[in-house]
Structure 1
């Protein structure tokens, strides 16, 4: 890491939010401080009025590395979305932004250098990402990689917009989004929303030369505690909000996603009334492009099967 002794404009802003991460925040911050780069970086940390010792640890490290660590402290809890997008995002000065939450950590000391070098040489790419391991609260590896082999590849704009799996704590993107539309505060999976907005500006590079980072699963994790049906409903809401703000030339992609996701929810719902509602509402976003015929037919089969059982 190059110390920013002269308060130069950082090349990379590391964007971190944290709440009650006392057991993890030091490791997370130190994984940023260990980065070996030939450019200055900053670490903007949104500390959301934790009730444990998280803030004390940040203050300790801030005193040691004041040129790098730039905390945003809240007097009351504002919630993850406002912490990240209302308070921290506008403060990111870097040409590039790297994402890392306060309970995750990086493992490759050259991660930022490798990703910046690629994006500097390839202006048609908007972001770079890599794989991550899944670990528990004690750093025990639960899963060696989060990405299946068929996801370890570069992504075209369409795939980014449609929500292809991109582990958030692996992403480095060009700082094109200074403010986000208000709709982002109406969704749960804000990262999918953000990446879709970024996908309007370029492709995504899978950086196979970067060691996997660590994605932590623990009792305090919000997204990992939500069941699959609720995650699908949440994803549906995300694309409904995206449809309002996405550029008109990409609306057909969101329309396809909304039509498909509503039809898929028919099978997962235990309530017949909910299934009928999703079937009817899916036609608000009717789309019948390539590959839709089988999905459309299967939705009728699933709905009829539910009606027959009841």
Structure 2
């Protein structure tokens, strides 16, 4: 690979990081399922999270929304979050195994009869969820039962890692689209034609609308709700809840959110996620830079200055 091409696709540091990650994944996948899941959870919790700053970021986010929480409790949650992140990553890299395990997993929720009816009628369905438990588990549960469910993913900053990350998502169920205008239009066409898809909405976006999340404003894209309204798709929150054994899941499909103003629809989706976090905060991905309060404050100051004029 020439220097110019290498720079375009990622540098040496990215390549080395990807090689190390590929090796770790390959080693883990060679182990029995229970051993690999526990090992990856422990590795991320004890080694990767402290070194990469994930534990610190989780604790800062917890302090941002729950300032009265004792430090020891914040550390406990942050460590459990890192453990869940490691488990989720390796579970999702074993697509055949995930499909096999989710084929027999409990599938529940008030929305289940409605999505089954929509499928029978050929009506599109758009599922929305957050980075809670294992967010791919409900999709895998339906795919294992013969459903075809597409999705939209945010590409990784490391292009070498993104190659196998994207391929792994395609292996679970196509069509899968890369986030961006082209990908959103592709998902929109898929849904409009009567298809089913999944969108994760709990990530920061500078183009989003400020919707309170756990008591603090969090910029949130309304594109999921807009797609549902445009296509007439059933708008269904789902969650893959990790059970007490740390290895199995319950796939919960909640009652559909009625169509209406997209911001209000996303506000309702946010409330559904908040309720799950209240039940077990260790299962949500506190590692995300979900709020970015300093960046939000800078944007507000710029807007205020612009409105004041010369």
Q: Radius of gyration: which is bigger?
A: 1
TM-score range for the pair, normalised by the shorter chain length: under 0.3
Q: Which of the two has greater helix per residue?
A: 2
Q: Taking structure 1 as the reference length, what is the TM-score of the superposition?
A: 0.25
Q: Taking structure 2 as the reference length, what is the TM-score of the superposition?
A: 0.25
